[in-house]
Structure 1
Amino acid sequence: MVGQANEKTLKRAQWESFSFELEAPGLVRVTNDSYDEDGHSYTVNVETDVPVACECKAFEYQDGPCKHMVAVAIREPVLMAAQAVPIPDGGQAKNTCQNGQTGCCGPHGDELPCFDCYQDRR
């Protein structure tokens, strides 16, 4: 996807100041902080680790990805967050170690970690 962007788009995606907000799995709100005025915030759709669409006019009218899509694609933590799958129980992850013990291996567990988790530094 990044390889399909023109040189100007690649440079702008790298040099301009962006902020990112995860709206939902697969949806990232990209705001261009390089501008003083409002209205430079767009949602980028991410599917299977690739930005595939943006609601900005540049994506609608030009060939290839826009700078918002490239900005998401070149920032690995943002791209990874966009792919995160929500936890079905409302976000309360259970710290389960490889031995099947629950609660022993998280940073706030009531017990010391089991040996396997300690050795793996979990």
Structure 2
Amino acid sequence: MHPLNQLEFSSRIAKRAQYEAFEFTLVSEGVQIRNGSHEHPGEHEYLVRSDDGVPASCTCPADEHYEGACKHRVAVAIRRPLVDAIATKVDPKVVAPDGGRIDTPADPSENGPVSDEECSECLDDFPCWECVRTGKKPLPE
């Protein structure tokens, strides 16, 4: 079941959770969420914790004082990859801001020498991401 189906919130909260400029950082305790929509974003930074894949609590004042989930919890729930990363205790160093995984590029020496072979995805003087990621081709300087 999607985490949003397990939270109670108003349509106003749902809209704010979607349009405000939230920045997410996966930390060992959950998701650190900063609201970039504010003039002083550092003063609007909170921790959302998850319980069984559902954003269960937030350190913001609204989550403590009002009924239903705050916009921060809803914002995390909307971004399913974040919820999944929290639930599976993924190492924060391997999760991208969009919730995708960051594959650490392999050591090029493990893949053999840099190759000059043609790749259909590479542009003339610019290699594709897969060739760079695997160490087959370097990025031009």
Q: TM-score, normalised by structure 1?
A: 0.66
Distance in structure 2 (CA, Å) of the matches to 1:86 and 1:7: 31
Distance in structure 2 (CA, Å) of the matches to 1:65 and 1:72: 11
Deviating runs (4+, > 3 A) in structure 1? Answer: 107-111
Deviations 1:14-47 (CA, angstroms, capped at 9, x unpaired): 11110111110x5110101111213100000111
- Corresponding residue for residue 27 of structure 1: 30
Of 50, 53, 63, which aligns to 1:49?
53
Distance in structure 1 (CA, Å) of the matches to 2:84 and 2:48: 14
Structure 2, unaligned runs of 5 or more = 94-104, 112-141
Distance in structure 2 (CA, Å) of the matches to 1:55 and 1:44: 7
Q: CA RMSD in A?
A: 2.3
Q: How does 1:34-73 map to 2 (within 5 A)?
A: 34-37=37-40, 38-73=42-77
SS in 2 for 1:9: helix
1:5 aligns with 2:9: yes
Number of aligned residue pairs: give it. 92
Distance in structure 2 (CA, Å) of the matches to 1:85 and 1:36: 32
Structure 1, unaligned runs of 5 or more = 92-106, 112-122
Q: How does 1:36-115 map to 2 (within 5 A)?
A: 36-37=39-40, 38-85=42-89, 108=106
- Corresponding residue for residue 17 of structure 1: 21
SS in 2 for 1:4: coil
Q: TM-score, normalised by structure 2?
A: 0.58
Q: After TM superposition, give the deviation of residue 76 of structure 1 in Å.
A: 1.3
SS in 2 for 1:51: strand
